[in-house]
Structure 1
Amino acid sequence: MRLFRSTGAPATTGPRHRGRAAVAAGLLVAAVITVLVLTGGPGTTGTPADDGRDRAPGHLALGPADLAEQRTVTVLAPGVEHLAIRRGDASPDEHWTLTVGLGTSEAEVAELRRRVQEAGHTPVLSDVAGADPGRRDGTGPGTLVRVGAYAGEREAEQAREELAERGVRTRVQHTSGDGRTATGPWSVHVLMIDPEEFEGRLTAELAAGTVAGRETVSSLVGRTGALAGVNGGFFVLGERDRPGQGIAGTEGDLAGVSVIRGELLSEAVNGRPALVLPDGSGAEATIRRLRTRLSVRVGGASHEVTGLNRGPGLIVNCGGVGAQTPLARPAHDWTCGNAHELIAITPEFGARAPGGAGHQVVLDGDGRVTGVRDGGGGPVPADGLVLRATGDAATWLRRHATIGSSVEVTEDVVDVGTGGVLPRSAGTSVVNGGPLLLRDGTLALDPERDGWSPRDIAATDRTEWFTDWYLRRKARSAAGVTADGRLLLMTADGDQPGRGIGLTIGETAEVMRSLGAVDAVNLDGGGSAAMAVDGTLVSSPSDAAGERPVADALLVLP
């Protein structure tokens, strides 16, 4: 909005990908081409008659190389293709089981085994597949203690209830999700956008048109008339009002940086990666590590703004700013607290500011203070904004922002790699994500840096959370850029044995690389992972309730 002013020199454009020569035109919209890849050797992907274009090469880097793989390409518009891939089949060796817990030491494993044996069952031990980033020897984080092997989920659920009656809590899991070598099946959908041919517009879009709202991807695609769309970044799901393990805050609040139509709507999780689309064409798309810098000035006094379009004191995924923020580094699925915050609320948040304690001032479109109050809430002016403060920040705001005062609000998105300000236009979109998957064609996984450390936070053991989130197969979404500048948006179905077993984070990186990406970032996944084409969901939601409403989406508009 116009009250915000950007400061500093623009950033350099960062990583660029070379353009390609002009290609043959005249593609048939909605043409469908199917190919069956019988082995893992390099080959064609079943494209139309020779049109001079390179599509996703080879086969997906999943399971044994000789798995059958079927690809169907649908041309949605010039420069836009939907690629549907099914790879492999379910193995008869996989089954449902009950996981009692994860032991990270011999003593913990022994205790879990004892509980199972006292309940009259035989424990089954399974080492976690995948490495613990904190262990130099490359070993996994521990050993899973399990009970039983069941043919069906219902049978496993009945066994879970019986064990619960005996005081043993367990989780129903399918072994195909463990992260070990599997045979599938995998169900993957990819949108491939070629900026040299694409004549439409590529943009991020808020669900329901506000920050404090959620909407399904299929609804967003249908409502906007988009050709296709995929879910975007992380967000607050459900409303909790206390810091700690999990996510808390206003439902729909974007848990990381967000820029839509050039406007900054949510602050960054310090240094985490994001997809940057400089304009609506999709050209020069990049994956960058970003931070945000916001402040207010009244006369000669200034104060840092610690948050944007959220309630104070709840910093989802941490990585916040300000002297009172407990964790300046990212910590995914953890909410940091801060009792001394200054938050800016713009009209995009919604009609009313979040309630709660603190001090609040209202600015009109000229930056003039038109109202002050103790406590939050109240309307957000359509052409102004609200400043909300707590603790020491509230004391500062009361002292300086009085009725009639002129307040200047400045904000910048900063490229951590270059230190420069990210240039923005009315067509710029930025979508939060993490972890970083690929950089220059090389695996770039750094769970400690991006917020997926299994280390304890505030005496809370995060090893089992890390194992489940990072090392187990889940539904995933990701965005990537190829060496010749095409944009790839991918979803993989998960937690559905027989349809789609999902991907580990490592597999997500390998899939993006096998699709041709050189830079890639993970987006929100799990029940949020969704892709819709022409208003119809083409992915299969992993939530039992069906497609999950999300906070934002990436849309391909005609």
Structure 2
Amino acid sequence: MACGSLAGTALVGASPASAGGARRAEVIAPGVEYRDFDLGAAHGVTHAHLVSVDLDNKHVRIGLLRPRAVAARGTVSQLADAGGALAGINGDFFHISETQHPGVAVTGSAVGPEIADGRVLKAAVPRGQRFGPALPSGTTTEDVLGVGPDRTARLDRLTLSGSVSTPEGVWRLGGLNQYALPVGSIGAYTSDWGSTSRARATCGTDSSRSAPCSTDTYEVTVKGDQVVATAGKPGSGTIPAGTTVLVGREAGARQLRKLFKGESVRVEHHLAAASGAAYAFAVGGFPVLRHGAPLAGLDNTATAVRTAVGIGSGGHRLLLLALDGASKYRSGLTVAELASELRKLGATEGFNLDGGGSSTLVVRKPGKSAVSVLNHPSGGAERAVANGVGVFSAS
């Protein structure tokens, strides 16, 4: 069958249990198809919603669903409609609560890196500061699902590379638009961050999200490669375009205290891919399937409603999968079962995204002006999330 047919690729080799109750694929747009079906799992039957995207079709592209700021949230349907998406699912785990540090604002920002339309928006928080289930062995908060300008999807790792050049020397940059900075580091905040307080960045440690906030902090505002303001603690408010706010904790704070108004400071940063590839889109999460094999040691005990992405056809097909949260299906899948099901659907690479109450899949049916939520969010209504994977018309 043609490459654009889900029936001819994504369900090839699927067991009857995996494809049970599958409906005929519905064409949403050229290169984009939707299907829903039952999945038989160890803890009962669950229901899956799947959007298949043919990346070889020049009329479709993948992009980041996101609110207007890194430190903000929106429902998947809101983000999809605002961006004119054809379909989408929720994305990365995010800073959803802050019970450990009373009075500190919840930022709503994602755990991992973000790239939208080729522009780097943020880098990854330290492993101990993340939200979500335990990471599989050998994975990190820097792991991403990405699609490059070559229209090929990959799993990769994006590491922040940055510096702060000053009269006192060149210092390493430890964070970019993150809700948590490594201990002893300096983080950069740009207009992409938004107006939310930056105080949370200096709370917790690299190994403990609940550790106290640092008492040794400092902030420096740089505009036009020159220091224009300093402060004894992280602030809040909109950051103008062309301005960078540097936030330091512990050793990073002590470095920033050496700077004074009028001094020359140059801040540079980018995300370096482990593969060396360039990305037009990237979102965080964690791998569960690589080269056709599930990662070793995946959890096979805890079940949940889940969202994931599979990559097939050598990076030229993307499978966006979200489980249904209706009460009769809420047993969901384990992470190990999720990896297995992605492989049965034709994926060679699999990437787990935020699940539970966040799991949402939306589609804009032909002739409609807005998307519809096609699964049932387990909380009874859509949850506001940090980002998502969007399918857009490229024509």
TM score, norm. by length of structure 2: 0.81
* Structure-1 residue corresponding to 2:115: 259
Q: What's the CA shift for 1:475?
A: 0.7
Higher relative CO (Cα under 8 Å, sequence separation at least 6) belongs to 2
Contact 2:115–2:122 (Cα < 8 Å) also in 1: yes
Q: 2:29 aligns with which of 54, 61, 77?
A: 77
Q: Tell me the amino acid that sits aligned with residue 312 of structure 2.
A: T
- The separation in 2 between residues aligned to 1:251 and 1:62, in whole angstroms, is 41
Contact 2:304–2:330 (Cα < 8 Å) also in 1: no
Contact 2:115–2:281 (Cα < 8 Å) also in 1: yes
Matches within 5 A, 1:64-463: 68-87=20-39, 181-184=42-45, 186-207=46-67, 209-242=68-101, 250-268=106-124, 269=126, 272=140, 273-279=143-149, 283-299=151-167, 301-311=169-179, 314=180, 320=182, 338=183, 340-351=184-195, 353-355=197-199, 358-364=217-223, 366-379=224-237, 380-399=239-258, 401-416=259-274, 418=275, 420=276, 422-424=277-279, 428-434=280-286, 436-446=287-297
Q: 1:293 to 1:388 in 2, by over 3 A?
A: same
- The separation in 2 between residues aligned to 1:205 and 1:407, in whole angstroms, is 33
- The separation in 1 between residues aligned to 2:155 and 2:377, in whole angstroms, is 26
Q: What's the CA shift for 1:370?
A: 1.6
Structure 1 ranges of 4+ moved more than 4 A:
60-63
- The separation in 2 between residues aligned to 1:509 and 1:220, in whole angstroms, is 27
Contact 1:236–1:254 (Cα < 8 Å) also in 2: yes
Q: Are positions 1:489 and 2:320 aligned together?
A: yes
Q: What's the CA shift for 1:378?
A: 4.4
Q: What's the CA shift for 1:307?
A: 2.1
Q: 1:440 to 1:532 in 2, by over 3 A?
A: same
Q: 1:240 to 1:258 in 2, by over 3 A?
A: farther
* Structure-2 residue corresponding to 1:519: 349
Q: What's the CA shift for 1:489?
A: 1.1
Q: Tell me the amino acid that sits aligned with residue 317 of structure 2.
A: R
Q: 1:378 to 1:231 in 2, by over 3 A?
A: closer
- The separation in 1 between residues aligned to 2:16 and 2:303, in whole angstroms, is 14
Q: What's the CA shift for 1:408?
A: 2.2
Q: Tell me the amino acid that sits aligned with residue 391 of structure 1.
A: E
Q: What's the CA shift for 1:75?
A: 0.5
CA offsets 1:220-239 (integer angstroms, 9 cap, x no match): 12222211110011101023
Contact 2:305–2:323 (Cα < 8 Å) also in 1: yes
Contact 2:164–2:266 (Cα < 8 Å) also in 1: yes
Q: Tell me the amino acid that sits aligned with residue 59 of structure 1.
A: A
- The separation in 2 between residues aligned to 1:393 and 1:61, in whole angstroms, is 57
CA offsets 1:312-332 (integer angstroms, 9 cap, x no match): xx45xxxx5xxxxxxxxxxxx
Task: Report percent identity of matched pairs.
Answer: 28
Contact 2:65–2:80 (Cα < 8 Å) also in 1: no
Q: 1:251 to 1:351 in 2, by over 3 A?
A: closer
CA offsets 1:90-133 (integer angstroms, 9 cap, x no match): xxxxxxxxxxxxxxxxxxxxxxxxxxxxxxxxxxxxxxxxxxxx
- The separation in 2 between residues aligned to 1:274 and 1:62, in whole angstroms, is 30
Q: SS at the partner of 2:235?
A: coil
- The separation in 2 between residues aligned to 1:490 and 1:72, in whole angstroms, is 16
Q: What's the CA shift for 1:497?
A: 4.4
- The separation in 1 between residues aligned to 2:297 and 2:266, in whole angstroms, is 38
Contact 2:330–2:378 (Cα < 8 Å) also in 1: no
Q: Tell me the amino acid that sits aligned with residue 547 of structure 1.
A: E
* Structure-2 residue corresponding to 1:59: 14
Q: What's the CA shift for 1:274?
A: 1.3
- The separation in 2 between residues aligned to 1:347 and 1:441, in whole angstroms, is 40
Q: Are positions 1:549 and 2:374 aligned together?
A: no
CA offsets 1:12-45 (integer angstroms, 9 cap, x no match): xxxxxxxxx9x599x9xxxxxxxxxxxxxxxxx8
Larger radius of gyration: 1
Gaps of 5+ in 1: 1-20, 28-44, 48-52, 89-178, 321-337, 448-466
Contact 2:10–2:347 (Cα < 8 Å) also in 1: no
Contact 1:71–1:86 (Cα < 8 Å) also in 2: no
* Structure-2 residue corresponding to 1:538: 374
Q: SS at the partner of 2:23?
A: strand
Q: 1:61 to 1:475 in 2, by over 3 A?
A: farther
